[in-house]
């Protein structure tokens, strides 16, 4: 939705009058838990707005070392950059390039239209097993500025060619075979999956993503592994091997998703 469309949308909401909230109509409400008030995410910036360079620089630091710079909101040992490789710039590793201009958009998981801030919070409560960032917080502002900076000088709304994850055929993973494949992974991530944070992320245990994270879905992990792992020779595994090792990792213990944040 462009800036002009957004303004027309807000105007229509105002006409509807009392009793109808922007949060329910726009799908942009944050922190709507029973313990606190509904807070509305800021309106999206103009499509051609250039983020503050210093704020974007802070956002990159936070992106790469999230537990260090956003510790009150992180519940494990993972940083954004552990999954979004090369500070969110690596193709087929869920890159951030061109993403900011795509919001707001409809989220199948949330069942509503979400903002970029909502999507960031999804990662915090799922992949980082923590809690949402307050929309007015310096951490949220810095992350949004950094992600916006990766979208500059691109056609707004045009998907990056290597956006998301690579498409693999639908295969069935075998965790017993995956245990054997994992021996290659264990060279970095350890036989116990604990990794070496902050450089090598843990793949299971309390330091890893929770069971509500996208990476806990074997098909998504397989697509990620197929393109990006092993680090020394990415692409060395077959699609079947990627599914097998994803099935093995999926069987390992990890934190439980907090249902209080089910709206994300």
Q: Where are the domains of the chain?
A: 3-149, 175-250
Tokens of 185: 């992974």
* 76 close to 208: Cβ distance less than 8 angstroms: yes
Peptide bond between residue 198 and the one before it cis (omega within 30 degrees of 0): yes
pLDDT number for residue 151:
82
* 221 close to 246: Cβ distance less than 8 angstroms: yes
Q: Count of residues for the chain? A: 264
- The helix or strand, by DSSP H or E, that contains position 30, with its residue range, turns out to be strand 29-30
pLDDT number for residue 156:
54
Instruction: Kindly give, in sequence order, each residue whose CB lies less than 8 Å from that of residue 142, ignoring residues fewer than 6 positions away.
Output: 55, 56, 58, 59, 62
Query: Which 3 state secondary structure label does DSSP give 241?
Result: helix
* 129 close to 255: Cβ distance less than 8 angstroms: yes
Separation CA 78–CA 203 (nearest Å) = 10
Tokens of 22: 């922007």
* 211 close to 204: Cβ distance less than 8 angstroms: no
Separation CA 105–CA 27 (nearest Å) = 10
pLDDT tens by residue, 35-93: 333 344 444 444 456 889 999 999 999 999 999 999 999 999 999 999 999 999 999 99
> What number of CA atoms fall less than 13 Å from residue 144's CA on the CB side?
25
pLDDT tens by residue, 180-193: 999 999 999 999 99
Q: Which of 8-12, 162-166, 175-179 has the lowest mean pLDDT?
A: 8-12
Q: Which of 49-58, 134-143, 172-181, 205-214 has the lowest mean pLDDT?
A: 49-58
pLDDT tens by residue, 215-253: 999 999 999 999 999 988 999 999 999 999 999 999 999
Q: pTM score, two decimals?
A: 0.79
Instruction: Kindly give, in sequence order, each residue whose CB lies less than 8 Å from that of residue 150, ignoring residues fewer than 6 positions away.
Output: 88, 89, 95, 96, 97, 98, 99, 100
Separation CA 211–CA 224 (nearest Å) = 17
pLDDT tens by residue, 97-107: 999 988 999 99
In 17-154, which residue ranges form alpha helices assigned H by DSSP?
A: 22-26, 53-64, 66-69, 80-83, 85-88, 116-125, 138-149
pLDDT number for residue 32:
32
Separation CA 72–CA 45 (nearest Å) = 27
Instruction: Write down the mean pLDDT value for the chain.
Output: 85
Separation CA 69–CA 97 (nearest Å) = 22
- The helix or strand, by DSSP H or E, that contains position 114, with its residue range, turns out to be strand 112-114
pLDDT number for residue 161:
87
CATH superfamily membership of 3-149: Cytochrome c-like domain (1.10.760.10)
CATH code: domain 175-250 is 1.10.760.10
């Amino acid at each position: 939705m462009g800036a002009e469309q957004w303004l027309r949308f807000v105007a229509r909401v105002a006409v509807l009058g009392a009793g109808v909230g922007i949060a329910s109509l726009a799908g942009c409400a944050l922190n709507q838990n029973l313990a606190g008030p509904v807070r509305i995410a800021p309106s999206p910036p103009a499509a051609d707005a250039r983020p503050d360079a210093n704020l974007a620089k802070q956002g990159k630091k936070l992106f790469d070392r999230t537990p260090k710079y956003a510790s009150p909101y992180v519940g494990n040992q993972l940083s954004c950059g552990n999954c979004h490789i090369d500070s969110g710039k690596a193709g087929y590793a869920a890159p951030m390039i061109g993403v900011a201009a795509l919001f707001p958009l409809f989220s199948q998981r949330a069942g509503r239209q979400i903002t970029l801030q909502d999507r960031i919070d999804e990662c915090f409560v799922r992949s980082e097993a923590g809690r949402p960032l307050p929309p007015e917080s310096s951490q949220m502002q810095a992350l949004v500025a950094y992600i916006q900076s990766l979208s500059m000088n691109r056609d707004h709304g045009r998907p990056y060619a290597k956006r998301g994850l690579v498409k693999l055929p639908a295969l069935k993973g075998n965790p017993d075979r995956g245990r054997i494949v994992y021996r290659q992974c264990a060279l970095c991530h350890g036989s116990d999956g604990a990794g070496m944070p902050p450089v090598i992320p843990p793949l299971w245990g309390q330091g890893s993503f929770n069971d509500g994270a996208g990476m806990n879905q074997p098909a998504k992990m397989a697509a990620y592994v197929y393109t990006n792992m092993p680090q020394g020779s990415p692409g060395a595994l077959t699609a079947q091997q990627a599914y097998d090792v994803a099935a093995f990792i999926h069987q390992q213990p990890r934190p439980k998703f907090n249902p209080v944040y089910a709206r994300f």
